[in-house]
Structure 1
Amino acid sequence: MNILISSAGRRVSLVRAFQKELKKIYPDAKVYASDADPTLSGACLIADGYFKVPFVTHPDYFDVLIEECKSRNIGLLIPTIDTELLPLAQNRLLLEKNGITPVVASTDFVGKCRDKRQIHKFFEEHNVAVAKEFTKDDYTLPLFVKPIDGSRSVDTYLIKDQKDLTDYHFENDKLMFLEYLDHDVYEEFTCDLYYGKDNKLKCVVPRMRIEVRDGEVYKALTVKNLLVDYIKENLASVSGAVGCLTAQFFVHSTEDKVRAIEINPRFGGGYPLSYLSGANYPKWIIEEFTQGKQIEENFDCWEKDLLMIRYDDEILVHGYKG
């Protein structure tokens, strides 16, 4: 049973985690990686093998993906970027027909996660509070502006003064005007959640975001706080959720107030901290999807107050020809 990490890019730590856990169970199995430009992908170069695919929007994407997977006996696919989640969910039956199981949430749930207004409605239906959304003719400054389908902090704005608002903000229907959650009052957390194939929550690891670069955390701390019980109480079962999900929350520094921001139904860039703390989601995925093992709840398997400080490293390719 070989595994593919798709759109691998810079996910070196995630590839290594799957390599380590896969070889404990299947010593001869391999972890492959795919990317639109694999020879310039660090994760592809440290994987057991790699291959090039078109962008997921290309009409030949699934033909190429399936052919490459079948030639390498790849039976399990782990997605890593937002834009591939919906196409993979929509083509689940096609992939499964060809012996490839994508570890991705249902089409309905992915659709909700990709639309910030829909995910706000989802949170409210589960008794989870969210930041207030203003209309564009009735708002209070400061406010936070972001697109309904954005990712990696692209096209987001903190608006403190009226002069900072432009015609672009008012005329772009994709931009939401939201209550600003002041970082002097709220602490920001990304939580790594694991949902089994039964759509039930098995683990929660809150990571305090200390420093972020290009939308990805570079300094973070595992914290065992009120979020663990809060998420267990309100999101214990989520229809369509499976595998690793990353959810963002703001927690008031002096009051028991929580505001949910979004869910990305995939491994997040900061997941390696949760893995190194003991939340072994790659192992659970391998056991659940290749052995049929039922994963039990384990909310105490990880180390609290573990600090991660990331840094840049180098991968050298000798004789590179492009």
Structure 2
Amino acid sequence: MNILISSAGRRVSLVRAFQKELKKVYPKAKVYASDANPQLSGACQVADGHFKVPMVSDPDYPESMIRQCREHDIQLVVPTIDAELLPMAINGDLFAENGIKAVIASEAFVEKCRNKREIHRFFEANKVAVAHEYSRDNYQLPLFIKPIDGSRSIDTYLIEEEEDLTDYHFDNDKLMFLEYLDHKHYDEYTCDLYYGKDHNLKCIVPRKRLEVRDGEVYKALTVDNVLIPYIKERLSHIEGAVGCLTSQFFKHKAEDKIYGIEINPRFGGGFPLSYLSGANYVKWVIQEHFLEETIEEQFDCWERNLLMIRYDDEILVHGYTG
């Protein structure tokens, strides 16, 4: 009953959480990690074993993953980056034919999440407000520009003056011109949502983002606020949603305004705070996908006002050959 954390990169805390929870149930089971360059991956170094896989864009990626999973007796795969979600969802049947389960949403829902414009339509259909999208010839400053398929804050721009706009912004059809939600007036939250195999919402942990580096949270606080009933009312069931969904919301500091920003159907980089607060999504994944147990709603299982302050640490790899 081995598990793979794919594209593990820096997800040391996630690997350790799966090691801890898996070995409570199967003491001899292992948590593996894969990466395009495992020798330079901290998560691969702390895993029980690791192996190299092609880049997600490589046509051989799915077949390579399956070969490695069969070789290492891996029955469950947990993806961690946006780029691998759609290839895994598309090849879900192929994985299943080889005795491998991937904890991933349906292909249709992943496609929505990978397109920011589509996820805006999804939010609006579920009565969640979104930032207004301007046309190229009719916009208001300041505005926020981001790609429809981006991640990690890459290719995003805050435009405050007309001269900040360039031909690149106007000519790139993938860029969205959006109403700017000023952090002076809005707090930014990442909410870890858990959906069971029945696609019903089981838990919500809002994490207030206090400091972010390279698109990943470094300081955050668990908060019990209006986001919990707001999300429960609107997103209690999402067809195709499975496991941890990392969703982003902006909440106005003084007024009754909430905006949905995006959903990433995977464990996010800041998930360790939710896990350490008591929201044991890792355990629930094992219970559902290995033990065939049903997860009940557990909205009060986590510690409120828990502050996480992350820091850099060292992992030494002896005998590195490059």
- Indicate the TM-score class for this superposition, using the shorter chain for normalisation: over 0.9
2:163 paired with 1:154: no
Q: CA–CA distance in 1 between the matches of 2:167 and 2:17? A: 46
1:157-191 Cα deviation digits (max 9, x unpaired): 00111111111111110000000001010000000
- Residue in 1 that maps onto 2:139: 139
> What's the CA shift for 1:268?
0.3
1:202-239 Cα deviation digits (max 9, x unpaired): 00000000000000000000001100110000000000
> How large is the RMSD of aligned CA atoms in angstroms?
0.6
SS in 1 for 2:14: helix
Partners of 2:62 and 2:87 within 8 A in 1:
no
- Residue in 2 that maps onto 1:76: 76
> What's the CA shift for 1:319?
1.8
Q: CA–CA distance in 2 between the matches of 1:254 and 1:26? A: 49
Moved over 3 A (4+): none
Q: CA–CA distance in 2 between the matches of 1:67 and 1:300? A: 41
Map 1:217-228 → 2, pairs under 5 A: 217-228=217-228
Map 1:207-246 → 2, pairs under 5 A: 207-246=207-246
SS in 2 for 1:291: coil
54-63 or 305-314, larger mean C-alpha shift: 54-63
2:91 paired with 1:107: no
Corresponding letter in the other structure for 1:53: V
- Residue in 1 that maps onto 2:281: 281
> What's the CA shift for 1:65?
1.1
SS in 2 for 1:240: coil
Q: CA–CA distance in 2 between the matches of 1:59 and 1:110? A: 19
1:79-117 Cα deviation digits (max 9, x unpaired): 000000000000000000001100000000000000011
- Residue in 2 that maps onto 1:127: 127
Corresponding letter in the other structure for 2:245: L
Query: How many pairs are equivalent?
Result: 322
Residue segments in structure 1 that go unaligned for 5+ positions in a row? none
Map 1:125-204 → 2, pairs under 5 A: 125-204=125-204
Corresponding letter in the other structure for 1:18: F
Q: CA–CA distance in 1 between the matches of 2:132 and 2:309? A: 33
Q: CA–CA distance in 2 between the matches of 1:80 and 1:192? A: 14
- Residue in 1 that maps onto 2:35: 35
- Residue in 1 that maps onto 2:85: 85
Q: CA–CA distance in 1 between the matches of 2:167 and 2:49? A: 48
> What's the CA shift for 1:274?
0.3
TM-score under structure 1 length normalisation: 0.99
- Residue in 2 that maps onto 1:116: 116
Residue segments in structure 2 that go unaligned for 5+ positions in a row? none
1:94-146 Cα deviation digits (max 9, x unpaired): 00000110000000000000001100000000000001111110111100000
1:267-308 Cα deviation digits (max 9, x unpaired): 000000000000000000000001110000010000010000
Partners of 2:250 and 2:261 within 8 A in 1:
yes
Q: CA–CA distance in 2 between the matches of 1:170 and 1:71? A: 49
Q: CA–CA distance in 2 between the matches of 1:14 and 1:190? A: 17
SS in 2 for 1:149: coil
Q: CA–CA distance in 1 between the matches of 2:185 and 2:231? A: 21
> What's the CA shift for 1:63?
2.0
- Residue in 2 that maps onto 1:54: 54
Corresponding letter in the other structure for 1:104: I
Q: CA–CA distance in 2 between the matches of 1:177 and 1:58? A: 31
> What's the CA shift for 1:52?
0.4
- Residue in 1 that maps onto 2:265: 265
- Residue in 2 that maps onto 1:19: 19
Q: CA–CA distance in 2 between the matches of 1:260 and 1:63? A: 36
Partners of 2:95 and 2:101 within 8 A in 1:
yes
> What's the CA shift for 1:72?
1.1
Q: CA–CA distance in 2 between the matches of 1:313 and 1:176? A: 37
215-224 or 65-74, larger mean C-alpha shift: 65-74
SS in 2 for 1:176: strand
> What's the CA shift for 1:67?
1.2
> What's the CA shift for 1:58?
1.1
TM-score under structure 2 length normalisation: 0.99
1:20-75 Cα deviation digits (max 9, x unpaired): 00001111110000000001100000000000000122122122211111111100
